Structure 1
């Protein structure tokens, strides 16, 4: 299928218009160079952009001035040379006139001076203002929509961060509780083990000092005290004096 026909009209979008200008300018300069080389043609190309920037092409070995002179000779036209002072005064008058017209237009847009306008001019001004207000509202709606989308994305990111922080806090609390419970159980086991060791040591030390052969062993210190009461204060063990005779000799006689 062939390409569709393009409507040749001014591009309203500034960015699209600038991109199209750059692409087509490069293509035009390329085609001009090819025509100059292939056909040995003398070509002078001058391009001014919307911003007033100059682009030009001139076939070698000529210059743009030579091309312009050839054009003047071929067409019989001539650039009128004027005095610099008159040219400056004329430029100043033109700038003043444009400035005055712009001030009047601004006053009409703000509604300050509408007495000199006719009905047709007022209708035209109304249409211009309505079109401008529509563009302003459209742009305002686009900006608000972009801000809403950005806020929604930020809200989603904050919710994700909040969920991650919540899970991290829960994991930290669970780990801390498990560690505290483990430490508590360890302390309880140590206390119980130390208590059992103390009881065993005390019982063994007391019972070792008081052995009972063939009898029931006392289970506590109180039972041991009742089984072996302390001797009376005036108790002295009996013994044989050296002056007494030997009892074995006495029994034999």
Structure 2
């Protein structure tokens, strides 16, 4: 079964709050002990309950040694407090987030006004300013459109020039091939078959038949 995420806020029930404190305090001290043993770290934990009861853990024999080391460290580093620095960073981040949120809301409102929405509360000067912005935007759009059309026309001209050049080259090539072919003149031979006759000379002669000779 998946446990639900506990909401981080003060527990109103006194008994539940005390039980939760005891469990989490024990877990915190156990984690501090494990961190000190596993990583050979110097760890000190100080916890005061709501009633002022102290619970502490130190990897040293005396927790005051760790506290003194902490004071020396912060003094050497210009009394810097990491916790305070983190808190300041969070505050700056929160302020920046709030500023960005307001900026987004302003841009969304301006966008709706440019689209002709929510103009009821606008003054005359605001409407004139919106009109000027829209006219400027239209000029920029028309200019961009004209440039786009000019680029397309230029590309079409280049394509037409290339096609015309290729067509001319093909025409010249075909004309050259046609001139290099010399057709044979066989019209007279086809009209008079006698020209196609081949005379063959042999030793045979043609004569009248004579009497038959009988050899005994």
TM-score for the superposition, normalised by structure 1? 0.43
TM-score for the superposition, normalised by structure 2? 0.49
Per chain length, whose mean CA-contact separation is higher, i.e. which structure has more relative contact order (CA < 8 Å, sep 6+)?
Answer: 2
Whose radius of gyration is greater, 1 or 2? 1
